[in-house]
A = this chain, B = another copy of it.
Amino acid sequence: MAGTDGARRGPQADKDGPAVVLVDPQLGENIGMAARAMLNCALFDLRLVRPRDGWPNEKAVAAACGADAVLDRLRLHETAADAVADLQLVYAATARRRGMTKEVVTPRQAASDMRRLTAAGVRCGVLFGGEAKGLGNDDVALADAVLTVPLNPGFSSLNLAHAVFAIGYEWFQATDPTAATALTWPKETRPANKAELFALFGHLEKELDACGFLHVKEKRPAMVRNLRNLFQRARLSEQEVRTLRGVIAGLVKGKTEAD
Q: Which residues of A contact B (CB under 8 A)?
A: 1-2, 5-12, 33, 36-37, 39-42, 65-67, 69, 97-106, 108-109, 145, 148-159, 161-162, 165-166, 169, 172-173, 176, 178-186, 188-189, 235-237, 240
Contacts and interface: CB of A to CB of B under 8 A. Distances in A.
Contact of A102 (B33, B65, B69, B183): B183
Interchain residue pairs A-B with the least CB separation, the first 6: A6-B154, A109-B180, A10-B152, A2-B155, A150-B178, A42-B152
B180 A106 contact: yes
Contacts of A8: 154
Contacts of A169: 149, 166, 169
Contacts of A104: 181-184
Contacts of A152: 7, 10-12, 39-42, 172
Contacts of A186: 98-101
A109 B10 CA distance: 22
A105 B179 CA distance: 8
A65 B151 contact: no
A125 B232 CA distance: 25
A239 B165 CA distance: 37
7 contacts: A2-B154, A39-B155, A40-B156, A101-B189, A106-B179, A162-B162, A165-B166
B183 A101 contact: yes
Contacts of A33: 159, 162
Given A42-B154, A105-B182, 6 more contacts: A40-B151, A40-B152, A65-B159, A105-B180, A109-B181, A145-B181
A10 B40 contact: no
A233 to B, nearest CB: 11
Contacts of A235: 101, 103
Contact of A101 (B2, B40, B148, B184): B184
Choose among A6, A108, A181 the residue with the greatest number of B CB atoms under 10 Å from its CB: A181
**Which of A102, A150, A153 has the most B CB atoms < 10 Å from its CB?**
A150
